[in-house]
Each structure stands twice: as C-alpha cells, then as structure tokens.
Structure 1
Amino acid sequence: MRRVLTATTAVAAVTACLTVQPAGAGPAISGEREFLVLYAEDTSPGTARAAVRAAGGIVLEENTTLGYATVRTAETGFVTSVLRAEALAGVAPNRPVAALPRNDASDLSARAAATPAPTATGSTGPGKPVAERQWDMRQIQTEAAHAVTKGDKRVLVGVMDTGVDASHPDIAPNFDRTLSRNFTVDIPEDANGVEIDGPCASEPDKACTDPADIDENEHGTHIASTIAAPDDGIGITGVAPNVTIVNLRTGQDSGQFFLKPTLDALVYAADNGIDVVNMSYYLDPWAWNCANDPTASAEERAQQRTVIRAVNRALRYAHGKGVTLIAAAGNDKSDYTKVITDTTSPNFATLPGQQPRKRQVPPSCVSQPSEGQHVIPVSATGVSGRKAYYSSFGLGYIKVAAPGGDKVDNVDGRPDDEIGIWAAYPEQVGRAGGTIRADGTPAVPYVVKEGDAYYASLQGTSMAAPHAAGVAALIVSRYGQEDPVHGGLTLDPDEVERRLLGTAVPRACPDPATYTYTWDLGGEAKETSTQTCEGTRNANGFFGSGVVNANQAVS
C-alpha cells in the first residue's frame, strides 16, 4: 500500500510556531539527530524547554499552541531522559539531519527510472470527454445538488497532501495562493540510504522546500480537483465547484507523511479559518501505532505513543476551532476492528539498519489520522456501488462511504481505467515519470489529455475521502454562518458530521455478509480477497451510515 491512500499508482504563518534555536547551534554534525518532543499538558513552555535542555537537546522550533518542539541532540540517552521527565509527554524521531541533498539533478527526471512500468488496461482512450467519465459524481448526485448550491467561495477546504498543482485549469480558478503553505522539507534519503524524495531540485537554488503551489507526486492535485474543480466546461467538475482550495502540504514527494508537518498543518488550519480538511494518508513510519508493541525498541514504542497523543491533541484543537476532519479509511482490505498482520512498519528508517518487521496488530493500535479523535473515516465504493475490493472497513470504524473507484468492479474482473476516478493530473509529473511522452501525448491508458490539461484515473480510499470532503464543503456553504473571527463562513464540525452522515444513503451488507472479491490481472491464477461485513443496513462495517449524497445533504 502506498503511504498516500491510492490503490493505484492574506494570513500570516502560524504565530505560535517560534524559532528558538540559540546562536551558535549551527548546522547538523555527525552523530546528531532531530526529534519532535511533546510537552506535557498544562506545563509551561519555559519548564518544558528546560527539561529538553536537561536531557541534552537544543530546541530549534517550538509550537506553544499545542506544546511541541523540534529538537536536535547528539546525546545517545536523549530518548530515555525525555521519557523520565515529568514536563515532557513524548518523543519521536523527526527526520535524519545528516542526509545532505545531492544536487546532481535539476528536475524530477532523476526519479523516472524508478517509476514502475504501468499496466495497460481496458480504457477507451482519449476520445471520450473526461466529464462523461465522472460516474462518481452521478453516484452521489452532485448535479442535483448544484441546482441548490455549488458552494461558496468563502468556504475553505484544506488539502493536506503532497501539494497542489495550481497551474492546472481545474485547480487555478479556485486556488488560494495567499493562504496556501508547504509544511514539509524534502528528504533525499533515509538513514539506510534509501531514496525518499531524491535530490532537492526546486528552482532557483535547488532548495529542499518546494513552493506551495506545486505537486511533484500527483496525489494532492487529483484530490483537490475532485473537491472543487470549477463548473466551467473545462475538464471535470468537482463536488463543490465554487469553494476555495487551500494547499496545506504535509506529504513528501515520495508520498510519505510525517508527524510534524501534520501537526503544523492542523494548527494552521485551525488558526486561519479553514472549514474542512482532507487527509488521504496515514502517518509514517507505522501503519498502525501500538503503545505496547512487543516487537519494538523503547524508542520505537515512544515514537508510536507520541504519534497517537500528538495527533489527537492537534485534531482536538482543529475540531474545537471549527475544522471538519475527513480522512481516507485505508487500502489494506482489512477490518480495523480485528487483529491485523502488519509487515510494512516501520517503512522509514530513522536509524541505520532499521527495517520493517512482521507483527500482529490488535484493534487497540491506531492508524493516524483516520482513527484519530473527531475524524470521519471514509471507505470507498466502486461503479456498481459495492465496497471497493481494496478498501479497509470495520463496524464502528467506518463512518461513511464515497466513490473511490474499483477498476475490477465489472463482469470479468479485468482492470478497466474507465471505472476509476478521473481527476486532474500534473503535467510535470507525467513527463518526469514517462506517462506523458515528449510530444505531449499520453503514454498510458489511465492518463488522457483534454485541451491543454491532463487527467488520470486512480482508485483508492484517497479518492473516496475528497468526495465526502466536497459534500461537507457544500453543507458549510448551505448552512454556515458568518465567521466573526476569520470572515467567510463557519459551521460547527459536529453539525457538519450530523448532516453528512444523516443524509447518506444507507447500503446494506452483501448477502451473504462474507463476500469474496475476485479479479484477474492476467496471471495464471485469479486474485481473491474474502471480507466480512458486520452490522445493520443503517450502520455497518463496509459503508458506515451509507454512501454520501450531495443532493440530500443540501436539500
């Protein structure tokens, strides 16, 4: 599973975020590491800062709103000292600080060789207008909803993802450059030397921090256009075509997502009047965070506990400031309320030699942010309305379902791009990865060109979540009140959730409830996955309260 949850391939910055690195701290030296340290609640920043210093750390940056700091240290016993300090509540590796950027490439082409060759499928090709391929919008009745409202420019939707290509014609009219931020720094490689983002390549100075209006992955752009592509006769139309998109970049070019950018983005969203955020990812390096993981070292257990505590602290803060929190449910084909076998974690090495291992994950372990507090996890449906074969599920976990695409949801189970989710695709990503030829023509059937823009067919709970986020934005547009703090509109997130779930169309479990998915990838044997749906027609593990319905949500 990719880290991003795809199954196929004028406001100041946060005022509470303070740089407090002392003079002489200087650049990283060999043996130094960088951590995120969580302060104990009700502890003053001064007291917590003193505890960090006593443990041998230097505070580089501090967020006093939530109470966490970025810390650099060369002390080998730093983690142990932090865990013993009453003023500190947790510690997690932030990122390698000794991995210097390799400036041996000027653009994304250096990563093209590592891009897997795409598998040709049954797409009908570019002759069919991309708007006609939007079965997903028909499934949730957006056309009828748009007769009531297409959304309001004053409603802000934050896309917490890999970035947003603001130059795409299905993004540009609704993109807010002033509010958009990039909370990430490119990471060339992990502690084992495995490439993550590759060489830092942003012009003009090969910096490791990209502008807040580009996407070097594809994921965030696809999501943003699903939410709010304008209804202007060009390309596609989003769920809420008149709302405003704000890029809150939290993901690396690689598609990995780490703790500090997520915390920073949630605080920023809360403090700047963002109404809805879409989080189509899980936090690396642990697919599930287990407070008492028997396979983990003391530092790894501390990291997992810190992720749970810190993200929940940020989610509570954002929810309390009026942010509706939408997340993708996951593409593991797994019931999150049962024991799961995890073989992927940790997927990012913060220490040399650190590797993924096999472990049994009980339901008490938490995938963040989808299992976080106040979050609405969204499962995915296919063109027939069934739960997508890859979509994770679980009674009490899934709150609602939405179209995510299921390319084998057909009679013969052969992959067909037509029944994926079609949305905006960044041209630079396609040219770098070989899906767009030098002459500008698409090289694969899941990418098409219409006019001067490109569109891709993807599938995943990543694609389902923005449909729910778009409906949430329509709800705020229809029923929101003037925001006395930030201007624009606002609506209590609990009210948004009530309307979103209450107007969803209930869908019963399959009969029998244990369902075997079968698909054919052209090999010697067909692939299968047997999954069991628990619950009633109005509340079950596959669809939650039902499939979101834009028309019913605003009528």
Structure 2
Amino acid sequence: AGGTAVGADTRLGYVLARGGGDAFADALGSAPSVVGVSTDRRIGFAAATRTAQPGRSAIVSGEGAGEPLAGRQWDMRMIGADRANRKAPGTRKVLVGVIDTGIDGKHPDIAPNFNRELSRNFVTDRPKDEDGDTLDGPCETSDCKDPVDQDDDGHGTHVAGTIASPLNGVGIAGVAPGVQVVNIRAGQDSGFFFLKPSLDALTYAADIGVDVVNMSYYVDPWLFNCANNKADSKKQRLEQRAIVTGMQRAIDYARKKGVTIISALGNGSTDLGKPRIDRASPGYPRGQEKVRRIDNSCLNVPAESKGVISVAALGPSGRKAVYSDYGVEQTDLSAPGGDVLDGKGSSATRSILAPAPEAVLRRTGKLDKSGRPKSADVVRDCKNGGCSYYQYLDGTSMAAPHATGVAAILISRFGKPGKGGLNLAPGAVERLLYRSARHKACPDPRAYAYKVYGDIEKHVCEGGRSKNGFYGHGVVDAWKAANVKE
C-alpha cells in the first residue's frame, strides 16, 4: 500500500507501519489478511467523575480506630475490608498491575507497597495535540517521559491507594494492604490513552508475572465499537475492528499467562445490553462527535471484551450509582464507587477517598500556598511534621479497584508458588470472586427512579438475586474472601 513497516509484535499479531493517511488505511483494509487498522494516537481516557464540592476544607490528624482516615472509608466498611485487613492483608508475593495514568510512588500511603523496579511507563508526554491545543502540557524531562513513580493526573494514584494503601498509621488502608502495586502506565498526563501503550502494558504485565491488573478506563475514540455501522466511514469501521481485535488479543495473551483482568464498567448510565444511540463518538479529535444508532453488537472495550471481569459502582446506601452503566450480560460484580447524590442534597463525602499527588492538587488550585485544602473534596493528614493528601472521586473507576483488591486477597490465600511469586489461574480467581460476593437482588420496583437535580431518571434492573444487571454476581466482599474455602 506504499507504506513502511516500522515494528511488529508477534505475541499479538500486529504490525506498526507508517504511511500516507486515509488512503493508506483504506488500502490496507482491503487486504483479506488485515482485520483492522487503527492510527497510533490517543484512543481512550480514565473514566472518573471528579467531585468539586465547595465548602469547608478538611485537615485531619486522627479520626478514631484503625488508620487516621478510616472513619471516612464507608466503602471499606461496606465490603468488610476494615475487618479483613488484619486477618488477610495479602502477601508481597502478589503483584497488582495498575494500568492507568501512573502512580505517585513517593506518596507516604503508597510508597511502602510500591514496586519501583518492575514499574514501567509506556507513554511519552505530548505537550500539544495534533490541532495545536494543549494536551499534556510542558514536558518535565528532556525526553518527555515521566519517571515510573510519577502521576501528573491523579487517577492512577487514587486507584492504587484503594487497592493497596498499607497499614502504616498514615491516611487510609487499602483493600489488600499487604500486596505490591506495579505502575504499568498506559495513560497520558491528560488522562487519555493510546492504543500501542495499552497493548504494551497488558503484554508486559503478563511477561513479568503480574497476578491481577486493574483497567479503569475505556477505549476511545469510540464509546461503542461497531464493526459495520452504516453511519461510519470505511476508515472508522476499520479502526473500531482494530480496537476490538487488538485488545482482545492482548487480553487473551495476558490470561494465558495467568493474569486476572478487572475493568471499570463505565459511567454512561446506560444499559449496555440495550444501547440505542451513541452521541459521544468519535470522541477524538474533539468536536467530531456524531449521533449514530447502535445495537448490542457494538462493544464497550475492554468492559465487554471476553475474559474481563467488569464492575459496576455503588453509592453509600448500597444502590447502584446513578452514573454507573449496567446490564445483565455485562455486569459481573459491583463495588463501592461513590455517588454524591445518594442521599439528601449533594456531598463529596459520599465519594471514595484515596491518595492524591500533592503536585497535582497544587497545580489544579485545590491547595492554598500553605498546603491547606481549599474545598471539601480534598483531605490532608499530617503526622510528625509530614503531610499526605487524599481526594474524593466518583466512578466505576473507583469501584473496580475494590474488586481488584479482593482478587489480590484471594490470590494471596490460594495461589501456588510459581514464577515470580504466587500463581492462581484467572478462571479460579473469577470463581472465588463470585463465590465470595454478597448476592443483592434488583430493587422493587425494578425500574429504579433516580432524582438528579430535580429530574427523574429510571434504570431498569433485570435478572435474579444471584445475577442481575445492577449488581452482577453480587457486591464484592473482602471479609468473605478472607474466610471462603477453596
């Protein structure tokens, strides 16, 4: 087709090539041996909903039993992690990969469990996007490649803390405070993801013996990837096919190497089994979104990819969060993800509290010059002259790491000695996760009415008590995981 091959990955069966734009992609797509064609650029973003509630700032120096901020962790109490922490904290032989925007490995409530040696950054910062608009901002290093212990977004740090913040008398405790976390970075500073780093991250996790990975993002620019949508051009169809196929190959490769894969379900308030209209695609370049009709053949990736455990989000009352996607086919598990509207009025404290990089909070204006939080969605914990910072976030991105932490507990308990530590087949981890989950039936009536700032929004739950569209096989339960029999 007049292009040049510049690289290949025989593990997943793809070629990285350079050629002449749309005509090059169309020519490649006409070859019977080519499944799909996707440009090597930004294709996804971390799926979190940031809370920004004005009000009194929070500075804490101790809040009762356990870690100093334990009183704010309604999420850990919901899944019994506060009780499981000391009985089954997990072992350092278990490696948890966080495929995200990075991890602040120097954060006081992450550093003890952060594996710097194995961590990798598969992205290069891009100050500007292809239209000349600010993307990642100025590069901090000469090669525009951040260190493996840096997170300029905060999303990955929050996820890592929920999984494995240690029992160290600082801030919070994670679900599995005894395991190690590995930064396997695939997201830009801006929170967006490229295809190539996503594939590289999964294959790297598999090759180094990671036991479970957390993927709290969805693949973009297509919210739903359709193989043959009439509203899409040939190039767009090829791109969507490449996303579905490429990610599935990476998932299959990782699972064969013993990696359990856990994903956020998505924040679109959508029944993924009955999608009708997609107004968000293609989400990049910005401003090119169009309205297209879709159906259940169109996939949200990786949430609907085969072999992935997808997690819906719950608010503090235990209801499905208003923003959380759902679907009887798609929801495997549910876990606390936060819901600021789950109660009277709106409150940031109904979200999930986890570590935040101080540099990010300063850059975004959430701290004053002295380091005091300026709003209720940021908390500072100071001890012995040092301070650590935390932020409240909502999202299925926040729900998934609770399930990942429970998986780490199960692998710690039942894994067998093997390459790099303990090994437990993904199928076995999945069965134990479902067995230890707490069944939760659909609401009555099944059409649950959410009050959203004066409006009413109804989501319909399908399925039985043991498996349904709101809660999947149930709510993850760390305490049951600490006691369940193999």
Does the TM-score normalized on the shorter chain lie above 0.5?
yes
The answer to whether the aligner puts 1:543 opposite 2:476 as a matched pair is: no
Q: Distance in 1 between matches of 2:131 and 2:276?
A: 27
Once the two structures are superposed, the pairs formed by residues 123-522 of structure 1 within 5 Å of their partners are 126=60, 128=63, 129-199=68-138, 201-203=139-141, 205=142, 207-349=143-285, 355-410=288-343, 412=344, 414-451=345-382, 452-483=387-418, 486-520=419-453
Q: Secondary structure at the match of 1:344?
A: strand
Cα gap change, 1:334/1:93 in structure 2, threshold over 3 Å: closer, same or farther? same
**Identity within the alignment, %:** 47
Cα gap change, 1:292/1:189 in structure 2, threshold over 3 Å: closer, same or farther? farther
Q: CA-atom RMSD, angstroms? A: 1.8
Q: Distance in 1 between matches of 2:225 and 2:362?
A: 37
Asked if the contact 1:155–1:473 (Cα under 8 Å) also holds between the matched residues in 2, the reply is yes
State the 1:119 CA deviation: 3.6
Q: Secondary structure at the match of 1:326?
A: strand
State the 1:75 CA deviation: 5.9
State the 1:554 CA deviation: 2.5
Letter in 2 for 1:489: L
> Higher mean Cα deviation, 76-85 or 461-470?
76-85
If asked which structure has higher relative contact order (CA below 8 Å, sep 6+), I would say 2
State the 1:394 CA deviation: 0.4
Q: Number of residue pairs matched?
A: 467
Q: Secondary structure at the match of 2:35?
A: strand
Give the unaligned 5+ runs of structure 1: 1-54, 97-115, 521-525
Q: Distance in 1 between matches of 2:55 and 2:17?
A: 48
Q: Distance in 2 between matches of 1:509 and 1:361?
A: 26
Cα gap change, 1:157/1:358 in structure 2, threshold over 3 Å: closer, same or farther? same
Q: Secondary structure at the match of 1:319?
A: helix
Asked if the contact 2:59–2:372 (Cα under 8 Å) also holds between the matched residues in 1, the reply is no
Q: Distance in 2 between matches of 1:121 and 1:385?
A: 26
State the 1:319 CA deviation: 0.7
State the 1:147 CA deviation: 3.9
Q: Distance in 2 between matches of 1:348 and 1:426?
A: 27
Q: Secondary structure at the match of 1:225?
A: helix
> Higher mean Cα deviation, 313-322 or 435-444?
435-444
2:17 corresponding residue in structure 1: 71
Who wins on radius of gyration, i.e. which is larger? 1
Alignment counterpart, residue 82 of structure 1, candidates 21, 24, 28: 28
Asked if the contact 1:157–1:245 (Cα under 8 Å) also holds between the matched residues in 2, the reply is yes
Cα gap change, 1:94/1:251 in structure 2, threshold over 3 Å: closer, same or farther? same
State the 1:144 CA deviation: 2.7
State the 1:168 CA deviation: 0.3
Q: Secondary structure at the match of 2:87?
A: coil
Asked if the contact 2:94–2:412 (Cα under 8 Å) also holds between the matched residues in 1, the reply is yes
Write out per-residue CA displacement over residues 294-347 of structure 1, whole angstroms, 9 at most, x where no aligned residue: 221111110001100110011011111100000000010110000232212111
2:7 corresponding residue in structure 1: 61
Name the TM-score, length of structure 2 as normaliser. 0.92
Letter in 1 for 2:353: W
Q: Secondary structure at the match of 1:162?
A: coil
Q: Secondary structure at the match of 2:280?
A: coil
Q: Secondary structure at the match of 1:257?
A: strand
Q: Secondary structure at the match of 2:40?
A: strand
Q: Distance in 2 between matches of 1:379 and 1:122?
A: 30
Write out per-residue CA displacement over residues 342-364 of structure 1, whole angstroms, 9 at most, x where no aligned residue: 21211112xxx971111122111
State the 1:70 CA deviation: 2.1
1:32 corresponding residue in structure 2: none
Q: Distance in 1 between matches of 2:21 and 2:452?
A: 52
Asked if the contact 1:334–1:340 (Cα under 8 Å) also holds between the matched residues in 2, the reply is no
Name the TM-score, length of structure 1 as normaliser. 0.81
Q: Distance in 2 between matches of 1:437 and 1:171?
A: 24
Cα gap change, 1:550/1:118 in structure 2, threshold over 3 Å: closer, same or farther? closer
1:120 corresponding residue in structure 2: 54
State the 1:120 CA deviation: 1.4
> Higher mean Cα deviation, 386-395 or 121-130?
121-130
Give the unaligned 5+ runs of structure 2: 43-49
